[in-house]
Chain A
Amino acid sequence: MAEGAFAEAGADLELVGIHKRFPGFTAIEDLDLRIPAGSFFALLGPSGCGKTTTLRLVAGLEQPTSGRILIGGKDVTDVKSFKRPVNTVFQSYALFPHMTVLENVAFGLRRRGIPDPLGKAHEALRLVELDHLSARRPAQLSGGQQQRVALARAVVNRPALLLLDEPLGALDLKLRRQMQLELKSIQTDVGLTFLHVTHDPEEALTMADTVAVMNKGKIEQMGAPEELYELPKTAFVANFLGQSNLFTGPVVSSKGDSIIVDIAGVKVEVPSARAQRHTDEVTIGVRPEKLMLHTEAPRKAAGVNVLGPGRVTDVSFSGVSTQYQIAIPGLGLVTVFAQNMVFGPVVNVGAEAWVAWTVDHGFGLADEPEHAPKFAADTDTATIALQTRHELLAEIEEA
């Protein structure tokens, strides 16, 4: 970046064939990514999926084992971090404890010889509404205030690309919401490219234009938030972004623009365009809020899938909606979110129930059936507990 001048606008970021190996494990495997200038891009995934490593590679704090990094079309793979037109809001904030808030914010400006660093620092602090605390030391601020200072310290440099490493992680819910909105408005105001790393799906969905879901060093799926949510392509995405009811069975026929899958003896229809695989064993799914709960067997109708009867095993009321768990013999537990249109739950535990959904709401996953989660046929408490235990153990081993 030119000495003494700001970036004119956000820049594209392009990662080409990035591999990153640490002694003993591979953090990133063959990552290709293109983030257009001016967009708010979120990299979403569980801890240990390689998202923070990706961010550190872009910031220049780590070197890729192989692959190229391009910012605004310029190859910066071998450019040192202090020469990259990139600023980071660190997860730990990393505010310099020996400087005042003002000096912290002016640090980057001074290094680049930008005229009037203190004036611009005050301006950036006004943006995050902390100018009145500019003479304090970071240790004298609350967590939320420190986070805003860290943001001001990065934004004041008008980087072509702003990296955010779970910057809202330490905040309480209310402050988090407020900061999410503030971040989004800053991004729109200054027109920078934001790369936001988070493990919180809700944060990614509400803030980003484009979300990439990362798992085990690879991008599982990338797209607009609605697209990712409504049409997940893998079981991981289906379950990491909200909840999903997944069923596995063989494709028995395909008629016109949809496929028919045999789920424990019941024929279920999924639109071909929304299914990744059209033959053999497939895993299909539907979101819990798309399910309709019926207390009587619904009449057969075209364009509607029905499963049941089953027994309601759990009802939990959460204000806006009620979550029902229905055990369907041969299928396992099905989760339904029903909006509270009347006062409180409409079905009680032990009641007989059917679930139905519009064919258009189903989706088919790309996972090989042997990797896709299957529901245990026998869903007594012990089995569920055992399954949960296995899942937890697997999770611990992964971490």
Chain B
Amino acid sequence: MAFAAFGSSAAPVEQAPRRRSWVAVILLLPGLAYLALFFLTPFISLILTSLQTPVEFGDVGQFQQAFKIENYAQVVGEYWPHFLRAFGYALAATFFALVISYPLAYFIGVKARRWPLLQALMLTLVIAPFFISFLLRTLAWKSLMADETPLVQGLKALSIIPSDGHLTGTAFSVIFGLTYNFIPFMTLPLYTTLERLDTRYLEAGSDLYAAPATTFWKVTVPLSMPGIVSGTLLTFIPASGDYINASASFLGSAQTQMVGNVIETNFLGLLNYPAAAALSVILMAVILLIVGIYVRRSGTEDLL
């Protein structure tokens, strides 16, 4: 600025708003370097791995670089049920998390506005589970849902589950685990949008002959769309790649394996690195596709 003040006496030209700023570039540099080193490089490596072929007469886990595109067809052919299960479970968990979190977030963000202390307390309770390891909490649910617990005994007595049935190792327990573990990721973004919800719009809705339920669907939900979109994304994306809840050592069984579990097995167990890499690339591509369509369809661009 100082230089500009003493600058040429030529007619003052309107400064373009997009002036190149070296400060911005320097500030961006660490982030860009980080992304290049820890995202772009492994990603390229992952794609290269997914195209590798076993070394002839080599040991298990020995691969050489090739362009074996059949790897993809092979893993899709073999593991398509796991993909379906992963997206099905993630979808169900996202739905349940939304249904549970929305009233909770609405209460904290709108109804409890007059009592900031209650708001803070409830938010702390939402975040509190993070203070205990995710693995421990999931294991705790496993023992809570084990066959000999009063819960399962009671459900059997009421014939809700058959006498030879289980709670753990079922689709129910996996979806339950996913829902439970991702609820805070749903509640917090919902809370931040609902906390800013102007209740005068709700009064206007009521003034314009809309019953409370209509006002909710026509006014509250559209206005909280940014929170719904980010909450569902924050739940759906990690849930579809999750391999803890569905694994047999936690809440799942062989029948509930998700794509994350087969990636783990291929990578750590079978040492089939190209298959694991191909599965990862497909998972990533499908999630990107789903998210892209979702964000477009929800029309939140102009609300964000």
A interface, CB within 8 angstroms of B: 59-61, 80-83, 86-88, 90, 92, 94-98, 107-108, 111-112, 137, 153, 157
Contacts and interface: CB of A to CB of B under 8 A. Distances in A.
Contacts of A153: 208
B204 A111 contact: no
Given A97-B223, A98-B223, A111-B214, A82 B209 contact: yes
Contacts of B204: 88, 90, 94-96
A69 to B, nearest CB: 15
Contacts of A60: 206
B210 A61 contact: no
A60 B210 CA distance: 13
Most buried by A among B200, B208, B219, B225: B208
Most buried by A among B203, B207, B212, B215: B207
Nearest to B207: A88
A81 to B, nearest CB: 5
A278 B75 CA distance: 104
A94 B203 contact: yes
7 contacts: A81-B203, A82-B205, A87-B207, A90-B200, A90-B203, A94-B201, A98-B223
Nearest to B200: A94
Nearest to A80: B206
Contacts of B215: 82
Interface residues of B, number: 22
A82 B206 contact: yes
Given A82-B209, A94-B198, 14 more contacts: A59-B207, A60-B206, A61-B206, A61-B207, A82-B211, A86-B207, A90-B200, A90-B203, A90-B204, A92-B200, A94-B204, A96-B205, A98-B223, A157-B209
Contacts of A61: 203, 206-207
B222 interface: yes
Nearest to B303: A98
B209 A98 contact: no
Contact of A82 (B198, B207, B222, B223): B207
Contacts of A87: 207-208
Nearest to A81: B206
Contacts of B225: 98
A108 B200 contact: no
A112 B223 CA distance: 22
Most buried by B among A59, A95, A98: A98
B45 to A, nearest CB: 44
A88 B303 CA distance: 26
A107 B210 contact: yes
Nearest to B218: A107
Contacts of B210: 82, 107, 111
Contacts of A98: 222-223, 225, 303
Interface string B108-142: 00000000000000000000000000000000000
A149 to B, nearest CB: 12
B301 to A, nearest CB: 12
B94 to A, nearest CB: 23
Contacts of B209: 82-83, 108, 111-112, 157
A96 B207 contact: no
B208 A108 contact: yes
Contacts of A107: 205, 208, 210, 218
Contacts of B303: 98
Interface in B177-227: 198, 200-201, 203-212, 214-215, 218-219, 222-223, 225
Contacts of B203: 61, 81, 90, 94
A322 B302 CA distance: 54
A32 B71 CA distance: 84
A82 B211 CA distance: 6
